[in-house]
Amino acid sequence: MLVSPTPNAIATTEILLAIFADFLNVDVGAGDAAYDTLKTYRRQVRQFINWCDRAHLNPAEATKEDIKRYRHWMIHTQNFKPATVGLKLSVVRRFYQAAADRGLIRFNPANGVKPPREKRDPAERITYLEQSEVEQFLDAVPQDGTLKSLRDKTLLAIMALEGPRTVELHRANIRDVVRQGNNLGIRVEGKRNIRIVPLTPAIASVLMDYLDARDASGEALKPSRPLFIAVGNRAGGNRLSRRGIRAIVDRYLTQTSLKHSPGRTISTHSLRHTAGTLALRSGAELRQVQDLLGHADPRTTCIYAHVADRWENNPALRLGIKL
């Protein structure tokens, strides 16, 4: 049981952290927050506590000016980007709100302390592969019928054409392969919801070949088994980690010389951008792409439309001026 300090007493850092730990378990994500979310919250709060220690500041006595000093440190000493500063401030705000709700502090000193404005073009961070590059990327997987090749082909095709997040495929189990009529899909758990990623017939066929190969290897394909497993090393058969997924993607990107090019670096997350951008360019409706990618806010999906429109409908193209 958590013990609150006596009235008018200054809460200790240990008590604040205990209250925050209870808040993480009970309140974040309506009590069902993902492990990665909780890990992020704890890491961000620990960074703030460490900063307080270096500043010889009791977190329970922090003022709004102290939070602004923390913001200044993040911007000018750590050189964090505005989005990163925004995330860290939001966690600190929730840290103090948990204490305020328990009556440990009289007010939340982080309220009203905003991150600097993002000066970058929102579309600038969207990196993606062109359709011909996606074909080159997928063709790089050997057609040798091995378990490893079938896994890689399935994984890369789903990521580049359907756009799920890395963590969603990392979490997926065999039970999450669902059939609706003649169609196959994968049930994935996103940031705030659960959705079904529909698979094209070609991807569904490769997925079933991959699962058949696992069955033929003698593995018992129980519903609780991970959908994507490590192959050919000491962790063989274990769930493929997010780092493992990134390593697979980067290996094929490097092999096809698509990883780095002037003005562009492709990452695992770029495959998600690829799916969204190419889908809109091919004529898919915004709502359909929003549903495919699991965006809560359609404005997020609109960024992909803006990227495609910027080049194809550049007003300067209408001038017809030759150089």
pLDDT, position 224: 95
Q: What is the pLDDT of residues 166-194, one digit of tens each?
A: 999 999 999 999 999 999 999 998 766 88
Domain ranges within the chain, ordered by starting residue: 13-115, 125-314
pLDDT at 248 over 80: yes
pTM of this structure: 0.74
Choose, from 165, 170, 214, 273, the residue flagged as catalytic: 165
Strands, E, within 110-254: which ranges?
177-180, 183-189, 194-198
Report percent pLDDT > 90 for the chain. 62
Handedness of CA 93, 94, 100, 105 (dihedral sign): negative
pLDDT at 123 over 70: no
165 annotated active-site: yes
pLDDT at 268 over 70: yes
pLDDT, position 39: 85
DSSP 296-317: SSHHHHHHHHHHHHHHHT-GGG
Rounded Cα distance between 108 and 99, Å, is 8
Place of tokens 């492709």: 266
Residue range 13-115 forms a domain whose CATH class is: mainly alpha
Going by pLDDT thresholds of 50, 70 and 90, the confidence category of residue 8 is very low
- How high does pLDDT run on average in the chain? 88
304 annotated active-site: yes
272 annotated active-site: yes
281 annotated active-site: no
Choose, from 71, 94, 153, 272, the residue flagged as catalytic: 272
**Mean pLDDT, rounded, for 32-51:** 85
pLDDT at 1 over 60: no
Choose, from 191, 225, 242, 246, the residue flagged as catalytic: 191
Residue with the bigger pLDDT between 23 and 57: it is 57
Choose, from 148, 259, 269, 306, the residue flagged as catalytic: 269
What is the fold of 125-314? hpI Integrase; Chain A (1.10.443)
Give the alpha-carbon dihedral of 293, 299, 300, 306, to 10 degrees. Answer: 100
Choose, from 128, 210, 252, 304, the residue flagged as catalytic: 304
Q: What is the pLDDT of residues 57-90, one digit of tens each?
A: 999 999 999 999 999 999 999 999 998 999 999 9
